[in-house]
Copies of this chain bind each other. A is one copy, B any other.
Amino acid sequence: MSFEKVAILGIGLIGSSICHAIHKFGGAKAISGHAKSAETRAAALELGLVDSIHEDPAEAVKGADLIILCAPVGACGALAAAIKSNVQPGAIVTDVGSVKGAIVRDVGPHVPPHAFFIPGHPIAGTEQSGPRSGFAELFEGRWCILTPVPNTPPEKVAALEALWTGFGSKVESMTADHHDLVLAMTSHLPHLIAYNSVATAADLEEVTQSEVIKFSAGGFRDLTRIASSDPTMWRDVFLNNKDAVLEMLGRFSEELSVLQRAIRWGDGETLFTLFSRAREIRRGIIAAGQDTAAPNFGRDPAKRS
């Protein structure tokens, strides 16, 4: 099962990784690309990511039976509007955005009735961005969530699913609202507090920035990795998943007040109980193949055997 021509609109980390994955694992006979910036278009050709590259997204989607919007969430509505007259009958329109409700709201109205709209989100990425950051194995072992709109023919969902499973992903379908709630917890909140920690550190006057950098191996460095992700993408996530993020943030702040009070009162039992629980979730994540069991993610010098 393979698509004839896939159009990748936006050649950043995810868009370029999809190109690499198709070259390595198959899934489409041809790839056309679109990128706003001339520099990215040149890189896409130089790296051999695409068969053709277009400044005009409407050109890129001509003859495509699969169209994947790989732009920041806030840019997808305009992109969908720009391509709508060239979307061919029977084509699947999907995306890779970290928010799904806003994609349904912004992209949905522009998908012609003769095409099939299946929003998607591969839970994969790195802190890097741009057309040179992609690699074929990015999706291996990761989940891809699809949020098909009601009445989407199952064979269309299956065709898109086959592409992702071909890349080594596992696929699950759910509603857009549920996706946005789950991801607010597992991705958006972690990024928010990582960005916030780095901002807190940057504003300290007693502790110089050079000390924060030198002594970061005690935990802070891990947060800076997450916080170095693409600012445009993340701005759009928070603007477009406001309700779920504010809900999770409210819960996070409530919990934090409990912890803060335990510290202030010297309540070691509460701290110990709460800290002990966290190990179970970590074990679950490793057992589910979603992280490495190697200490420090394996980034240290080799452990002596």
- A contacts, CB < 8 Å to B: 20, 24, 74, 98, 123-128, 133, 135-138, 140-143, 145, 172, 178, 181-183, 185-204, 206-207, 209-229, 231-232, 234-236, 238-239, 242, 245-246, 248-249, 251-253, 255-256, 259-260, 262-264, 266, 268, 271-272, 274-279, 281-285, 288, 290-292, 294-304
- A181-B206, A275-B234 as given contacts; A216 in contact with B186, CB under 8 Å: yes
* Residue from the list B127, B187, B274, B298 in contact with A299, Cβ < 8 A: B298
- A127-B295, A207-B181, A225-B222 as given contacts; A266 in contact with B242, CB under 8 Å: yes
Q: B255 near A256 (CB under 8 angstroms)?
A: no
Which residues of B sit under 8 angstroms from A202, Cβ to Cβ?
277-278, 281
Q: A291 near B299 (CB under 8 angstroms)?
A: yes
Give me the 4 closest cross-chain CB pairs, A-B, nearest first.
A187-B218, A126-B295, A190-B219, A231-B275
Which residues of B sit under 8 angstroms from A206, Cβ to Cβ?
178, 181
Which residues of B sit under 8 angstroms from A214, Cβ to Cβ?
143, 172, 288, 290
- A186-B219, A209-B284, A219-B194 as given contacts; A239 in contact with B253, CB under 8 Å: no
Which residues of B sit under 8 angstroms from A207, Cβ to Cβ?
181-182, 185
In the bound complex, what is the Cα–Cα distance between A299 and B126 (angstroms)? 10
Q: A302 near B137 (CB under 8 angstroms)?
A: yes
Q: A246 near B228 (CB under 8 angstroms)?
A: no
Q: A274 near B228 (CB under 8 angstroms)?
A: no
* Residue from the list B197, B209, B290, B298 in contact with A193, Cβ < 8 A: B197
Chain B CB count within 10 A is highest, among A98, A136, A204, A231, for: A231
Q: B182 near A221 (CB under 8 angstroms)?
A: no
In the bound complex, what is the Cα–Cα distance between A127 and B272 (angstroms)? 16
Which residues of B sit under 8 angstroms from A145, Cβ to Cβ?
215
Can you give 21 contacting A-B residue pairs, CB < 8 Å? Answer: A98-B218, A123-B218, A124-B217, A126-B300, A136-B304, A185-B200, A186-B211, A187-B220, A194-B219, A196-B252, A197-B252, A199-B277, A221-B290, A222-B222, A231-B275, A231-B279, A238-B263, A239-B268, A246-B260, A292-B299, A298-B298
In the bound complex, what is the Cα–Cα distance between A80 and B292 (angstroms)? 38
12 additional A-B pairs beyond A191-B219, A196-B255, A228-B283, beta carbons within 8 Å, are A20-B304, A133-B295, A140-B300, A140-B301, A188-B218, A189-B220, A203-B251, A222-B223, A224-B291, A234-B271, A246-B260, A291-B299
